[in-house]
Structure 1
Amino acid sequence: MTLDDIRLILVQGEGTSVEFKRCGNMPEIDTFETICSFANRQGGNVFLGIVDAEKSGTCKPEAIGVDPDRAVEIERNIANRLNDPSFFNVPPAVEFERVEFNEKLILRIWVTVGPVVHRLKGVVYDRIADTDRKVVTDTQLAAIYIRKQEYYSERKVYPYLGISDLRLDLLARVRKMAAAKRSNHPWSEMDDEELLRSANLYLKDYETGREGYTLAAALLLGKDDVIASIAPAYKTDAYVQRNDVDRYDDRIVVKTNLIEAYDALLGFAQKHLSDKFFLDGTQSISLRDVISRELIANTLVHREYTNPYPAKMVIDMGSIRTENASRPRFVGKLSPGRFNPLPKNPIIAEFFNNIGRAESLGSGTRNLFKYSWAYGGGQPELIEGDVFEARVPVASNSESSQKLDVDWVIERMLESYGHVTVAAVANIAHVTERTVRRHISDKVSAGELLGMGETRARKYVRTK
């Protein structure tokens, strides 16, 4: 670790994977609580010899260092405690590094995420933001076990789940949707059983030898009573909370198969959100439908269905937001440049992709960042964790007709698409095309923009 790395960490402060500790003669018990929580979450770094801003009484973390003469003894003490069975049930894996910073010795303890649930003196700790939390409920503990598992729960085989327990009447529609997505789709020529096997909804578990239809099959095509028996906690609670903020203005609770659940949730969003068309190049699209589809597909496709946490879709005065249980590999805010798209349920995701309900992995996040500002005047907030949270700003009906600053719209379009057109800017800013041409002409004259093409859909790009 370089000095620049330390400087950057001091600026960013503590977080999900960074902790500062004052260390006198020997580490205190809270150091081991952090090591336990890091091993149970996503790993991290404990820096001995750095004091957090709140504890140092300053406006920023302070490097006070540890006694160089005791460095070996401190490292030996930590190693002994980690391998003491009366301290840890399973020793967390750590590495030590000594860093000289401003003539102070900083001891870095790098903790790797462990394959098992670690306990310190019988207590499980988890890392939430910048704190170490005791796990006190069965639901929290179950979430850690789920996070540690390397299998996909959607693949669980139910030997007694038969084809008669599935909504085969939906398959005719599935074939039409698949053919609309791709001409000559192979599902068009398959019978029902062949289609289900092709979609990996019938599998053999090579560890147990059992074979049959899976949790994914039940969720996608199961009859309502079958789904309620296999996944009793599954539901999506959708409600509007504008006038009555203590309860709700309108509400539906969706417990049916994922195909019809998608339709019900989309219809609910379309009922309560204003429609706003946007010219993307020469193509007019509904921003309401694009954003609603991405949020709904995400909460249905990437949910951890073995977690009892109920999913939500909430429409309030300023946003549409969703929450669903997750099995994260990363914790924190997502952005177009900071996320690794990993499928939580690859079989369900592929099924939705085949019927045109979802696109390639990661495209949903990119579309939300691409279109959110045009719909609600701001960027979305996506936060990954045991509960995945998504929020997209929404303009009210009165706000959606208000004029926006033309130059601001031009800059947002250049950032999102790399070019602008007169018609698209006029559509978003709610001004005339003549007004937009005046602004663009000024930028062309100033050498900021360059026109390409001669038609009404002429594009303008940055000159640099």
Structure 2
Amino acid sequence: MNATELSTVLECGENISVEFKRCGVQPEADTFETVCSFNNRFGGSIYLGVLNDGTVEGIDREQAIAIERNLVNVIGNPKLFNVAPAIETERIEYDGRLVIRVWVPAGPAVVSFKHVIYDRVADVDRRITSETQIAQMHIRKQNHFSEQRVYRYLKPSDFRFDLLPRVRKLAALKTPGHPWTEMDDMELMRSADLYGVNYDTGEEGFNLAAVMLLGKDEVISRIAPAYKTDVIVRRENLDRYDDRLIVATNLIEAQARISEFAKRYLPDRFMLEGDQTVSPRDIIIRELVSNLMIHREFVSPYPAKFLILNDGIRTENASKAIFQGQLAITSFKPVSKNPFIAKFFRNIGLADELGSGMRNLYKYSKPYSGKDPVLDDGDVFEAFVPVRWVEGNTDEGDVTAHDETARDPSEREHDLNETVNTLNEQENDPDETVNETVNETVNETVPRELRLLELLRLNPSITYRQAATALDVSYATVWRTFHVLRESKTIERVGSDRRGTWRVLTPPQPSRK
């Protein structure tokens, strides 16, 4: 958030999701009451260093770290909070003063502070003491988070407990000495909130989160019959697909299958972070696939999709949106759609803290493709990450794979024959004839760059793959040839990557060997 956005918030004043707090050396108790009430209602933002009337007083810059540390310590203290709410903080410069924004998302459980439950009503943190009201809050939470739905007749035999050794190993790799490594199967399920209570009926049992994470395939298909993830590669055959994978198994195995499938079809690049080499492709795949697993409405009939297209990667999944419209990194307010599943993924190292997925997509999309991702939330959450299919080109006019299918082989052969005939005429050699084998003639008599220039004259819309086929060389070789001609200002790209054409700037100068 920047100063302009904060100014708009200050003008609107406090409401059900905005609270202003004066802050000295450390936050006062009423700040934590608001954290509790925001968690129990719809979430919201607390602005430390702002008076009730919207006047920015600011906080002592030297105390900023201590204030942020105090927030984390108090919220994580089990003697003060029965369940630790999730929070994120950010610092905002406003008219020479420092404001700390504390973002509190709505949580999956009813939270109390110092054994008192608070709810947010208008711009007030209200103490809730009635058993009826507390029960209604639990019901409200369950209705919002469908992953908490309890199925009383599910038994341990309905689950893939054979996956739990892998889960323990991953948890130990993420956090040495992780408590799950010492728990038996049922203790782990309870610790992960996969075995819970339906506060509407008082029934105990495994919940929907448990089914999706560890359920056997036949159990998943009965409880969530529409659940599947459709992974499609559509780059050559645009009417149908080049390859396809349909995944309808538990989330742990689904995450691995989709990730491995995507890596086979997406180009890999490496970048340095300090002295470490990282793969932006692998990080982007991890975040997109984890989002499909974590932030998804599993009771919706809308199937999730992971599409690899000519212009990039596109994902779609059913969502229960808190916000509608395109998400911006500067104003994004992360809300966990399935907190139990998200926590499970974080424990085994397949996800990080709330909001990190979007930050990683913005961070690594630029070095991977030269462009930012596009994220749109609503009843269907859509994510798009561009892909630069050709190594070395990052400018807007650079070429990626085009959105067109290869022509019929007979047409390519005809164009190649035409090319050879044209070259022979330009050399004015009546005795020079086209050999019986086209590739042999071309390779023996004409430099590759010249042959490519003639192909571009015949077909300015030719793709790299078509050119490689016509010249009988590899994709990498034809890309290098394009790159040489472009660097030497012999050719240029006119129009967009997908719909543009090539223009030959320098007339070819054929020469005989």
TM-score normalised by structure 2 residue count: 0.49
The residue identity in structure 2 corresponding to 1:151 is H
Question: Corresponding residue for 1:207?
Answer: 200
The residue identity in structure 2 corresponding to 1:401 is G
Question: Corresponding residue for 1:151?
Answer: 144
Which ranges of structure 1 fall in alignment gaps of 5 or more residues? Answer: 9-41, 43-146, 406-429, 431-464
Q: Does 1:307 align with 2:307?
A: no
Q: Does 1:184 align with 2:177?
A: yes
The alpha carbon displacement at 1:317 in A equals 1.0
The alpha carbon displacement at 1:150 in A equals 5.0
Rounded Cα–Cα distance in structure 2 between residues aligned with 1:215 and 1:232: 13
Q: Superposed, which structure 2 residues align to 1:11-30 within 5 Å?
A: none
Q: Superposed, which structure 2 residues align to 1:331-350 within 5 Å?
A: 331-350=324-343
CA, structure 1 residues 227+325, in 2 after alignment: closer, same or farther (shift >3 Å)?
same
The alpha carbon displacement at 1:294 in A equals 0.3
Question: Corresponding residue for 1:380?
Answer: 373
Question: Corresponding residue for 1:193?
Answer: 186
CA, structure 1 residues 245+148, in 2 after alignment: closer, same or farther (shift >3 Å)?
farther
Q: Does 1:400 align with 2:391?
A: yes
Question: Corresponding residue for 2:493?
Answer: none
Would you identify which runs of 4 or more consecutive aligned residues in structure 1 move more than 2 Å?
147-151, 401-405
Question: Corresponding residue for 2:443?
Answer: none
Q: Does 1:223 align with 2:212?
A: no
Rounded Cα–Cα distance in structure 2 between residues aligned with 1:240 and 1:151: 34
Rounded Cα–Cα distance in structure 2 between residues aligned with 1:367 and 1:268: 21
Q: Identity percentage over the alignment?
A: 55
Q: Superposed, which structure 2 residues align to 1:109-188 within 5 Å?
A: 151-188=144-181
1:406-447 CA-partner distances (Å, limit 9, x unpaired): xxxxxxxxxxxxxxxxxxxxxxxx9xxxxxxxxxxxxxxxxx
Rounded Cα–Cα distance in structure 1 between residues aligned with 2:220 and 2:391: 40
Question: Corresponding residue for 1:441?
Answer: none
Which ranges of structure 2 fall in alignment gaps of 5 or more residues? Answer: 9-41, 43-139, 397-479, 481-513
RMSD over aligned CA atoms reads: 2.2
The alpha carbon displacement at 1:336 in A equals 1.1
Question: Corresponding residue for 1:293?
Answer: 286
The residue identity in structure 2 corresponding to 1:297 is S
Question: Corresponding residue for 2:231?
Answer: 238
1:143-172 CA-partner distances (Å, limit 9, x unpaired): xxxx99852100000011111000011000
Rounded Cα–Cα distance in structure 2 between residues aligned with 1:378 and 1:404: 10
- Alignment partner of 1:261: what SS? helix
Question: Corresponding residue for 1:371?
Answer: 364
Question: Corresponding residue for 1:72?
Answer: none
Count of residue pairs brought into register by the alignment: 262
- Alignment partner of 1:234: what SS? coil
The alpha carbon displacement at 1:196 in A equals 0.6
- Alignment partner of 1:389: what SS? strand
Question: Corresponding residue for 2:309?
Answer: 316
Question: Corresponding residue for 2:347?
Answer: 354
The alpha carbon displacement at 1:299 in A equals 1.0
Partner of residue 264 from structure 1, selected from 257, 270, 273 = 257
- Alignment partner of 1:314: what SS? strand
Rounded Cα–Cα distance in structure 1 between residues aligned with 2:305 and 2:296: 11
The alpha carbon displacement at 1:280 in A equals 1.5
- Alignment partner of 2:144: what SS? coil
The residue identity in structure 1 corresponding to 2:282 is D
Which stretch has the larger CA shift, 165-174 or 147-156?
147-156
Rounded Cα–Cα distance in structure 2 between residues aligned with 1:363 and 1:212: 32
1:165-212 CA-partner distances (Å, limit 9, x unpaired): 000110000000000000000000001110011001000112211110
The alpha carbon displacement at 1:401 in A equals 3.4
The residue identity in structure 2 corresponding to 1:321 is R
User: Are the counterparts in 1 of residues 370 and 395 from structure 2 also a CA contact under 8 Å?
Assistant: no
Question: Corresponding residue for 1:108?
Answer: none
User: Are the counterparts in 1 of residues 272 and 278 from structure 2 also a CA contact under 8 Å?
Assistant: yes
Q: Superposed, which structure 2 residues align to 1:24-173 within 5 Å?
A: 151-173=144-166
- Alignment partner of 1:400: what SS? coil
Question: Corresponding residue for 2:473?
Answer: none
Rounded Cα–Cα distance in structure 1 between residues aligned with 2:395 and 2:361: 20
Q: Does 1:327 align with 2:349?
A: no
Question: Corresponding residue for 2:32?
Answer: none
The residue identity in structure 2 corresponding to 1:385 is G
- Alignment partner of 1:379: what SS? coil
CA, structure 1 residues 378+221, in 2 after alignment: closer, same or farther (shift >3 Å)?
same
The residue identity in structure 2 corresponding to 1:235 is K
The residue identity in structure 2 corresponding to 1:377 is G
The residue identity in structure 2 corresponding to 1:371 is Y
User: Are the counterparts in 1 of residues 229 and 247 from structure 2 also a CA contact under 8 Å?
Assistant: yes
The alpha carbon displacement at 1:251 in A equals 0.2
- Alignment partner of 1:259: what SS? helix
Rounded Cα–Cα distance in structure 2 between residues aligned with 1:281 and 1:389: 32
- Alignment partner of 1:179: what SS? helix
Question: Corresponding residue for 1:74?
Answer: none
Rounded Cα–Cα distance in structure 2 between residues aligned with 1:365 and 1:291: 10
